[in-house]
Amino acid sequence: MVNRIIDYQLNEVNDGRWLTEIKGRLMVRDLFRIPIGRVKVCGGEIPFECGLQDICIIAQVILSYV
């Protein structure tokens, strides 16, 4: 089991690991900002790009540990 410390105070989405909701499921994913309000989402089977408005970003993962 992986434990995580997360920060729910969202000021700005930067490159890093985030708690997201995608298609109704909570997932921890690595997000990378790309120009024109888009983000690359990695950490699942297939990385993809989408608009920031197309993904629900809940909190930033500050630390993961076992």
**CATH label of the domain that carries residue 17:** 2.10.109.10
Domain count for the chain, please give it. 1
pLDDT tens figures, 4-56: 999 999 889 999 999 999 989 999 999 999 999 999 999 999 999 999 999 99
Q: What is the pLDDT of residue 29?
A: 98
Residues 23-36: pLDDT tens digits? 899 999 999 999 99
Structural domain boundaries, residue 60: 3-65
Q: Which amino acid is at 49?
A: E
**pTM summary value:** 0.89
Residue 19 · residue 58 · CB < 8 Å: yes
Distance, in Å, from the CA atom of 27 to the CA atom of 57, rounded to the nearest integer, reads 10
Name the band, by pLDDT with cuts 50, 70 and 90, for residue 57.
Answer: very high
